[in-house]
Every structure is written in C-alpha cells, then in structure tokens.
Amino acid sequence: MSDPGPRPLGASAAAVRARLTALAAELRARGVRVGSGEVASAARALAAVQAGSREDARLALRAVLCSRRDDLAVFDAAFVAVFGDETGAAGPPMLLPAPPGVLPVTRLGGRASTATTSADLDAEPEVRPAAYSDVELLLDRDFAHYTDAERALARAVLRRLAQRGPTRRSRRLRPSRRRGHRPDLSRTVRASLRHGGEPVHRHWRAPGTAARPLVFVLDVSGSMAPYARMLLQYVQAAVAARRRVEAFALGTRLTRITRELHTKDVDRALDRAAEAVVDFGGGTRIGEGLAELNRVHGRRLGRGAVVVLLSDGWDRGDPALLSAEMARLARSAHGVVWLNPLKASPGYQPLARGMAAALPHVDAFLEGHSLRSLEDLAALLEGPLSELEDRR
C-alpha cells in the first residue's frame, strides 16, 4: 500500500482535539478536576513545544492539566490509557511544532482567552517573539501617534499608574512593632493580663502615613491637543483612584474639573470634562490661571500639596506674572513638577518665554509624551516627593 502522505492541517488539528477531549474525560473519570479552560491551555501548550516528541508532549500536558501533586500519578495512567505506552503504535498526531523561540500569540493585553473554537484549532497559529507584549510596545510611543484601539489598551496602564502618588506623615498614631517614644498603654495593659498584671510585653505606637494632596493642572490649549486627551485620561484615573486629588484645566482661563472626573465611567467623565471646559483647544494664559489657582483655590488645596503641571509652556500672557505666580505656588506647595511633551524632542531647549519663566521654580522637569514618562512621574511621586516632612 502506498503512503497516503501527510494529512491536512485541519484533519491533524481535529484529531488532536479529539485526543485532548478523551484525555480530559479520562482524567475527570479518575477524579482530576479538568475543565474547558484547561483543555484550551493544553492545546496551546502542545503548540509551544516539539509536539512530535512524545515526552515533550507529555510534560507539556502534565504541566497544564495537573494542579495538585496527587494528580501526577493519575495523569500518567490516564495518558497511557488514551495515547498508549511507548511500545505501542505510533503516537497521536500533534499540532505542528512551533519555530524555536516563539509562542502562540495572545489577545491584546497579554492574557490568553480561556475559550477556544474549532476554527481557532483548524487555523494555522500565528506566532510572535516570546517577549512580545502589546502594552510594552506602547510604553515609549508618542501619545500623538496613538490610535483609538491603542488608547483603549493604555487605559489599564493609566489606571495602574494613577494609583501611585505622594504620601506624608499622618498625625494619627498606629500600632508599631518597633520600639518608639510613644507607648501603647491600652495594648500593653491587655497583654499584661496574660502574665498576672506584669507588663512583660510592651507595645508602642508611631505615626502612620496618609495620602498627600495632589493637584493636576492640565493645559488644554490648541498646541497641547495631540497630548491632552491621553493626559486627561491619566488625570481622571488619578481622581477616581486616590483621595485628595484636584484637577484643573488651563486654557485662557482656569476651570476646576475634579467633580466631572470623579467617576469610574471613563468615557462619561471625559465627556463631562469637555462640556465644562469652554476654552478647549484655544490659547493659553498660564500666569493668569496660576493666579486664580493661588488665590481662589488655595484654601481648598491647602499647604503641602504636590502640584503637577502638564503643559508645553507656550504662553500668551506676561512672563513676569507667570514667574511671580510660580514662585508663590512653590512657596506653598510641597513640590512642583512640570511635564512637557516637547522635552522628548531631540535638541529641545526651554526657550519659550513661559517655560523659561517657570523653570527656576520647578522641582522636577520631566517629559510628558508617553506612558514611560508617566511611569517616571509615578516613581518621582512615590520617591523623592513622598518625604514625610514638608520641606518648605
């Protein structure tokens, strides 16, 4: 009889699917908990190894189908029952081996789906480098080049970064394991009852930490249009995730948008903020806006806040007024950080009169054009700007 030749990929995949289903049924009959998610993971595991090798296939399947130590012996018996022993006939048809150094591609966000269909198994798997990640590719990409799909994908990263912020020493005392100068009398007395009233174990209290006030001032002028949308999403995530966060939009006037952004629905929050800001996409008067921030909203912000300005520094107002208001803001704030998307451009120099007037009063001058720059901001807020004592 002549050799029929290699079978089509669809028939091979169907045979593998049937064998995996039989293996899962055998394991369930022997008391191992195996569901559809584990079967789908088993199919992906076979695609990631040299499936023509019986031992590689067995180890890959055992890694995803066994969740307990007791399942290992049961799996070996079930594997022999379904696929036969090494001395039996030719092994089962496996998925085509993947090229070295690659893994099956996952969905956007890096998490593989737990459900699979026959069309997915019949189709030839697409492969990408093992270190590939959709989110990692977005970290250094300029916000101005984002597509709508990439903006949606970046929301999870923005929510994670927004949870990080500055802290300060709290006035409230909390139980401490370290010896301090303030004894915890109530806990010490309760502990002494176990030893006949003798204070054998003494307990202490120490100041805890609390969230430091955080203020965002976002430039929404026309020159910031390519970046304002993504930066506004970050500000919204910070307002929704943390306490004592204030948000302002700065154009030709200053608009407080904290209330509009304080909701878990991102799209609704952005729409409400866009309705509240009447000068979106217009000019910029940074000096006048900071003057209103210092005098009208100063009591609401309080002393000791960290102020983050997100602007390219292009200003139509008086540089002398901007310099004076920045100095006033720096005296009352714990720290002033300026994020400028233009700073990422090669050969950038802060020559704009607004930026030049503000820089002497800024504690940190960072880029603001990508997720990586927002990671740097989060690290700065949690690190040097989270000193327990006010510096000013």
Tens digits of per-residue pLDDT, 55-111?
888 888 888 898 888 888 889 888 888 888 765 444 444 443 333 333 343 333 333
What are the distances in angstroms from CA 162 to CA 33, 146, 193, 238, 249? 39, 20, 46, 4, 18
State the pLDDT confidence band at 12, using cuts at 50, 70 and 90.
low
The C-alpha torsion from 173 through 179 and 182 to 187, rounded to 10°, is 70
HEC readout, 6-47: CCCHHHHHHHHHHHHHHHHHHHHHCCCCCCHHHHHHHHHHHH
CA distance 186 to 192: 10
pLDDT of residue 51: 61
Of residues 221, 360, 213, the one with CA closest to residue 277? 221
Q: What mean pLDDT comes out for the span 148-153?
A: 85
133's tokens: 């990640």
Residue 216 has pLDDT above 90, yes or no: yes
State the pLDDT confidence band at 133, using cuts at 50, 70 and 90.
low
139's tokens: 């970290």
Per DSSP, the three-state class of 360 is: helix
- Of 3-7, 32-36, 59-63, 370-374, least confident by mean pLDDT is 3-7
Which position has the higher pLDDT, 97 or 345?
345
**Vertex 73, ends 68 and 74: CA angle to 5°?**
80
Length of the chain, please?
A: 392
Dihedral sign from CA coordinates of 140, 361, 216, 277: negative
What are the distances in angstroms from CA 258 to CA 92, 248, 275, 311? 62, 7, 13, 18
Q: Are 362 and 313 in contact (CB under 8 A)?
A: no
Of residues 377, 50, 72, 57, the one with CA closest to residue 238? 377
Tens digits of per-residue pLDDT, 156-194?
899 999 999 898 877 777 777 777 778 888 888 888 888
Helix (H) or strand (E) holding 369: none
Q: Are 249 and 274 in contact (CB under 8 A)?
A: no
84's tokens: 């036969």
If one counts every other C-beta atom within 10 angstroms of the C-beta of residue 183, the result is 14
Tens digits of per-residue pLDDT, 249-307?
999 999 999 999 998 888 899 899 989 998 888 888 999 999 999 999 887 776 789 99
Tens digits of per-residue pLDDT, 327-344?
999 998 999 999 999 999
State the helix-helix crossing angle for 148-162 and 371-382, rounded to 10 degrees: 10
pTM equals 0.61
Q: Percent of the chain, pLDDT > 90?
A: 30
Dihedral sign from CA coordinates of 96, 102, 103, 107: negative
If one counts every other C-beta atom within 10 angstroms of the C-beta of residue 308, the result is 28
Q: Are 95 and 51 in contact (CB under 8 A)?
A: yes
What are the distances in angstroms from CA 262 to CA 167, 215, 271? 20, 14, 12
First to last CA, the chain: 92
If one counts every other C-beta atom within 10 angstroms of the C-beta of residue 242, the result is 17
Pairing mode, strands 102-104 and 245-250: unpaired
Tens digits of per-residue pLDDT, 85-101?
765 444 444 443 333 33
CA distance 367 to 373: 6
Q: Are 365 and 343 in contact (CB under 8 A)?
A: yes
Burial of 143 (0-12, 13-18, 19+ CB in 10 A): buried
Dihedral sign from CA coordinates of 292, 294, 297, 299: negative
CA distance 310 to 219: 6
